[in-house]
Structure 1
Amino acid sequence: MSALPIAAVERDTGIPKDTLRVWERRYAFPQPVRDDKGERLYPAEQVEKLRLLRRLLDQGHRPGSIVAAPTEALAALLEPAGERGREPADPGIAALIDLVRLHRSAELRATLQQHLVKLGLQRFVSELVAPLSRAIGEAWLHGEIGVAEEHLFTEHVQNLLRSSISSLGTGSRSPRILMTTLPGEEHILGLLMVEAMLAPEGVQCISLGAQTPLADIAQAARDGQFDIVAVSFSAAFPARQAFRGIEQLRDALPASIALWAGGAALHGKRKRIDKVQQIAQLDDLLDALTDWRKAN
């Protein structure tokens, strides 16, 4: 990986550009070089350290205690919960990751399609796509695959899910759900996974795509008379920022519109927000749907 511009580092690590600049001034890390136009470029080894920092921040460490530390020390902090606790991937998952790593695109697409036909859409998402996504994320964090390979995987899965959802037609049953991600969250695979779980139940799902401003989400929810707003957060999104955004969105929405939030950034977090349905696992969506229909 060559040196990356600041926008690419933000996408790669989930650390906002403003935070990177503050750390540079306050902790003398990162230390980007400058291109001919004076723009920051971050060497590969610094990006790798930033990935470690992001994971440690999500575990509750404070920037002041870790940003200036050497990479080896950061890796040691992660080891108890990460390296030693990492379970071997299921053989089927490992085989798919190998296809991703080797860029065997046609074989990957065919294998995913076979699993979809065998399992059906909902089980395909919950039993294969969800654990495969986690394993892909782990492989990326450990440097076993690169950004290009992660994008290859994401593109294939998204295309397959879109095609499968489209074949079901428009849902005709309540609730009507407005789906999006908050500013700074560009990953939409989680939204497609949610829609793929709910579409077979006849739910009307409308997606605004990624990175919709909070005020626009609230306005669209009101104008469209939606029953529920659903937002998703990938593992690359800082958990603290996610919770802050959820709280702000809840305040902006009418009480009559429910708010569902889930995704890897929230997984395992104990914090709970009043009047927000936090979805821990994909299968919990169906329970939440059942509860909503009983109450409404």
Structure 2
Amino acid sequence: MTIPEDPLHITLSIAAVERDTGIGKDTLRVWERRYGFPMPGRDANDERSYPMAQVQQLRVIKRLMDQGHRPGRVVAQPMAVLQQLSRAEASVQAGSEAQVTQEHAELQAYLTLLQSQDAEGIRLALHQALSTMGLQGFITDVVAPLTYLIGETWAQGDLAVHQEHLYTECISTLMRQAIAAIPSAAQTTAPKVLLTTFPQEVHGLGLLMVESLLALQGCRCVSLGTQTPVRDIAQAALAHQVDVVALSFSASMKPNHVVDGLAELNALLPNDVAVWAGGSASALRRRQIERVLVLSDLASISEAVDQHRRTPKSDANKAALVLAA
């Protein structure tokens, strides 16, 4: 029997660290010179070699930077300080202390199943929550906050990549089944929505959450999945004669990819096709993007749909509505 290698003793190349954390190679080298972190060793070929402990710390740093922290304030900090900052951010976003305590206890049960490799247990628990709460409650009260908690736990190094992937697969399967169970006759009203992400965005849970809520409101949805080139998005919007193009942006998206991609898409689409963009990408909140209206949470989707239905098509503008996902 082979004894598995201790993950903490594994080292990664600079290319692997870039893929794992989303932090570019040049940035890693600059931080090494400017802040003294990370501090890689050298392998047999004299190439940089990063211990997993440093990689886990870089994940937390990237998460904090996506939330608005500057590199000079976080890169040189020890892991304990970074984790404290990350927990503080989570508490601010979650709400009052009493509510956080109760919600955290409920969400922690799912996280514990995931960390204990209980694949069947997590599937059953999530399925029961969906059956009890209904699709809308399941998304707003379980999927959205649990996805955030799992992202934080992964960034702090307390959740393995394979465990995060298992969660994503379980949630995706449940939501697709729930969407398919909504009678097609109930999905006949405007707007007709095309859902996808830009090529740099691989995360699709945000799209599924938005698609679920739109379908519950009777919207007709066409999903292309993730990573669709901008010009292909525009072509698909014309081919399917949609009213809205809905895009999802996670915190890992680089600001220039968000801003430049939206500008290009707006130039390619007719004026009567709206663009709804959503997610936690920092660019959507740090700067004003032309014809972009930022909405704060998933509940704003209903308001956006109602507003679209009240607005005559001839008066529709190309506002990008940012829906938290």
Shorter chain as normaliser: what TM range?
A: 0.7 to 0.9
Q: Give per-residue Cα distances to partners, 1:16-69, cap 9 Å, x unaligned.
A: xxx324543685576767889999764313322322332343244555x469x5
Once the 2 structures are TM-superposed, how far is the Cα of residue 182 of structure 1 from its aligned partner?
Answer: 1.1
- Please list, as runs of the form range in 1=range in 2, the aligned pairs for 1:86-165 lying within 5 A after superposition: 86-87=90-91, 88=101, 89-165=103-179
CA contact (8 A) 1:173 1:202 kept: yes
Counterpart of 1:290 in structure 2 is 306
User: Structure 2 vs 1, CA of residues 84 and 126 (structure 1 numbering), >3 Å: closer, same or farther?
Assistant: closer
Counterpart of 2:232 in structure 1 is 216
Q: What is the aligned counterpart of 1:58 among 25, 49, 66? A: 66
- Give aligned-pair identity as a percent: 40
User: Structure 2 vs 1, CA of residues 10 and 27 (structure 1 numbering), >3 Å: closer, same or farther?
Assistant: closer
User: Structure 2 vs 1, CA of residues 253 and 142 (structure 1 numbering), >3 Å: closer, same or farther?
Assistant: same
Counterpart of 2:318 in structure 1 is none
Amino acid at match of 1:70: A
Once the 2 structures are TM-superposed, how far is the Cα of residue 231 of structure 1 from its aligned partner?
Answer: 0.7
| Structure 1 unpaired stretches of 5+ | none
* Cα distance in 2, alignment partners of residues 138 and 54 from structure 1: 11
* Cα distance in 2, alignment partners of residues 236 and 218 from structure 1: 23
* Cα distance in 2, alignment partners of residues 291 and 55 from structure 1: 34
CA contact (8 A) 1:58 1:239 kept: no
* Cα distance in 1, alignment partners of residues 128 and 273 from structure 2: 38
User: Structure 2 vs 1, CA of residues 85 and 182 (structure 1 numbering), >3 Å: closer, same or farther?
Assistant: closer
Instruction: Name which of structure 1's ranges 27-36 and 272-281 shifts more when overlaid on structure 2.
Output: 27-36
Amino acid at match of 1:49: Q
Instruction: Name which of structure 1's ranges 235-244 and 92-101 shifts more when overlaid on structure 2.
Output: 235-244
* Cα distance in 2, alignment partners of residues 7 and 175 from structure 1: 43
CA contact (8 A) 1:266 1:280 kept: no
1:24 and 2:24 are equivalent in the alignment: no
* Cα distance in 1, alignment partners of residues 189 and 52 from structure 2: 49
Q: Give per-residue Cα distances to partners, 1:108-143, cap 9 Å, x unaligned.
A: 111111111111111111111111111111211222
CA contact (8 A) 2:234 2:268 kept: yes
Amino acid at match of 2:60: L
- Please list, as runs of the form range in 1=range in 2, the aligned pairs for 1:37-48 lying within 5 A after superposition: 42-48=50-56
User: Structure 2 vs 1, CA of residues 4 and 207 (structure 1 numbering), >3 Å: closer, same or farther?
Assistant: farther
Q: Give per-residue Cα distances to partners, 1:234-272, cap 9 Å, x unaligned.
A: 233345643443333333322211111111225992533
Q: Give SS of 1:229's match.
A: strand
CA contact (8 A) 1:261 1:277 kept: no
Amino acid at match of 2:65: L
Aligned residues: 289
Instruction: Name which of structure 1's ranges 6-15 and 109-118 shifts more when overlaid on structure 2.
Output: 6-15
Amino acid at match of 2:300: D
Counterpart of 1:70 in structure 2 is 76
Counterpart of 2:195 in structure 1 is 179
TM-score, normalization: structure 1? 0.83
* Cα distance in 2, alignment partners of residues 57 and 234 from structure 1: 13
* Cα distance in 2, alignment partners of residues 60 and 244 from structure 1: 20
Larger gyration radius, structure 1 or structure 2: 2
* Cα distance in 1, alignment partners of residues 129 and 232 from structure 2: 38
CA contact (8 A) 2:197 2:225 kept: yes
1:236 and 2:240 are equivalent in the alignment: no
Amino acid at match of 2:268: A
Q: CA RMSD in A?
A: 3.1
Amino acid at match of 1:156: C
TM-score, normalization: structure 2? 0.77
Counterpart of 2:290 in structure 1 is 274
CA contact (8 A) 1:178 1:207 kept: yes
Amino acid at match of 1:202: G
Q: Give SS of 2:215's match.
A: helix
Q: Give SS of 2:194's match.
A: strand
Counterpart of 2:180 in structure 1 is 166
Amino acid at match of 1:207: S
1:49 and 2:65 are equivalent in the alignment: no
User: Structure 2 vs 1, CA of residues 176 and 86 (structure 1 numbering), >3 Å: closer, same or farther?
Assistant: closer
Instruction: Name which of structure 1's ranges 119-128 and 5-14 shifts more when overlaid on structure 2.
Output: 5-14
Once the 2 structures are TM-superposed, how far is the Cα of residue 94 of structure 1 from its aligned partner?
Answer: 0.9
